[in-house]
Amino acid sequence: MPQKMLKFVDVPRGMPEKRAAEARRGDFDEIYREYAAAKAEEQSSRCSQCGVPYCQTHCPLHNNIPDWLKLTAEGRLEEAYAVSQATNTFPEICGRICPQDRLCEGNCVIEQSGHGTVTIGAVEKYITDTAWEEGWVKPAAPRVERPESVGIIGAGPGGLAAADMLRRRGFQVTVYDRYDRAGGLMIYGIPGFKLEKDVVMRRNKLLEDGGVTFELGKDIGVDIAFQELREKHDAILIATGVYKSRDLGGPGAGLPGILKALDYLTASNKTGFGDTVAEFESGELNANGKKVVVIGGGDTAMDCVRTAIRQGASSVKCLYRRDRANMPGSQREVANAEEEGVEFVWLSAPKGFVGDDRANGVRVAKMRLGAPDVTGRQTPEEIEGADYTEPADIIIKALGFDPEDLPKLWDVEGLDVTRWGTIKTDHRTHETALDGVFAAGDIVRGASLVVWAIRDGREAADAIAAKLDARASVVAAE
Ligand code: SF4
């Protein structure tokens, strides 16, 4: 067979076709089209098959990227899918929403050498979407049914990854979530233009088809006591994520018209499902025809600004206290947002809100970047006397998330937490201070990426299985 790989010198980097910004503004469909087969093969063939693949080492799941690129280049897609899904529960989701520019693609050797990265994320998406179309994605069919049951609290990526791994081993798995649909932030946080909802719903159905039970709309500590779950299941995994929005103080902080990012995004996503959301209908959580100001520079802020554009906002501005080079969000997302009409107001920090009965503006302090702090990031400093008011009809706070106080909410003693409120676990086993209770994902590591939650969920599933296996062998020996 002629050499298929190392084509990066002759073949330029090519992403799948991106829909025109004007068309994107009018709907919540994903913005990238799918590769055609020939294009996916061609782009995969650019990989130089590095002996030390930095793409793989910088992937939290250590996905075997060079191998599935080679298989794709050779047209061996079913094998490519088998390799891809061996390390990742949701490859088509990671292909869509991972910030590849900060992970695999940002570290790709041919990106570093100036040839433009292999389009790893787009190929990963193509492989798994093809696998779905071809019927290669199969529900769990364990060879042996195990009597032990595991209760998983939280149907986000960490909880669902663990559910899949445990069910494939034959354990009886029930996933509890306070929302009415499974998926966590993948369903109600991330907008459809980055991750269409049927991509998540077909995964939920696959888990159900494989025997995972879902108890949705069940809030632990309200509808079911945590202790009741411990008595019901042989092991518990806490994978709730972090949902407490970071707040902003200052004058006018409590005025109506100042929204939490997650409330805003959830209302939009629910509406996308056809649900009736009273606060969306009333206009409270709907940007249509309004001047919108979003505060924050992370991925959630990017999701909010781009949602507001699609809802028909009259203007959308994003305030961030550092500059473009120092923002935490993906540069690719910033570029997409700018194309769609978002205006970024860099070096701008909120000092308070103006308005009488309702916020109608943000008081903004202008900043400059000063000396680097201990992490090496330049600290923003206020420029005296440069304040101004940014007019707004709605203001969305997207400043990140902290853990809720689970020991208090769930009335549980002995569940140790860190000073940040995240749950303390043994880093090797993911087990908490409570015997048989494990924790994984953002509730342990703090707000992070979906791909890290998947990794943590998979590792926790291994640890839970090992614990239940050990218990079973003790019982068998008695
Ligand atoms: Fe291929 Fe880039 Fe990974 Fe090297 S770093 S194996 S070129 S994708």
pLDDT tens, position by position, 306-351:
999 999 999 999 999 999 988 888 888 999 999 999 999 999 999 9
The pLDDT tens digits of the residues spanning 120-172 come to 999 999 999 999 999 999 999 999 999 999 999 999 999 999 999 999 999 99
pLDDT for 374 equals 83
Residue of 69, 105, 123, 124 to mutate, ligand 1, most atoms within 8 A of C-beta: 69
- Closest residue by Cα to atom 5, ligand 1, is 108
Percent of the chain with pLDDT over 70: 99
Closest ligand 1 atom to residue 118 Cα is: 8
Q: Identify the pLDDT of residue 460.
A: 98
Nearest CA to ligand 1 atom 4: 50
Q: Do domains 7-134 and 149-242+404-477 have the same CATH topology?
A: no
Helix (H) or strand (E) holding 36: none
CATH homologous superfamily of 7-134 = Alpha-helical ferredoxin (1.10.1060.10)
pLDDT of residue 1 exceeding 70, the answer is no
- Ligand 1, atom 1: closest residue by C-alpha: 47
The confidence score (pLDDT) of residue 372 equals: 85
pLDDT at 36 exceeding the cut of 90: no
288 touches 311 (CB < 8 A)? yes
For the residues 240-255, what does the mean pLDDT come to? 93
Q: Domain locations in the chain?
A: 7-134, 149-242+404-477, 245-401
Protein residue closest via CA to atom 2 of ligand 1: 108
Domain 245-401: give its CATH code.
3.50.50.60
pLDDT by residue (tens digit) across 419-464? 999 999 999 999 999 999 999 999 999 999 999 999 999 999 999 9
Q: Over 70: is that where the pLDDT of 294 sits?
A: yes
pLDDT above 60 (res 209) = yes
The encoded tokens of residue 7 equal 């084509």
- Tell me the two tokens of residue 42: 């061609």
Residues 196, 132 contacting (CB under 8 angstroms): no
Q: Which residues contact 451 (CB under 8 A, 6 or more apart)?
A: 59, 60, 61, 94, 98, 103
pLDDT at 403: 95
Rounded to whole angstroms, the Cα distance separating 65 from 172 reads: 32
Residue 2 pLDDT class (50, 70, 90 cuts):
low
Residues 265/307, Cβ–Cβ less than 8 Å: yes
- In the block, which residue shows the tokens 């946080």? 189
Beta strand spans in 338-422 (E): 343-345, 348-354, 361-372, 378-382, 388-391, 394-397, 401-402
Which protein residues are within 6 Å of ligand 1, measured from CB?
47-50, 53-55, 65-66, 108-110, 118, 120
> Of 3.40.50.460, 3.40.50.2300, 3.40.640.10, 3.50.50.60, which CATH number belongs to 149-242+404-477?
3.50.50.60
SS3 281: helix
DSSP-derived secondary structure letter, 105: G
DSSP bridge pairs for 366? 348
- For position 197, what pLDDT does the model report? 97
Q: At what angle do helices 65-73 and 77-87 cross, to 10 degrees?
A: 170
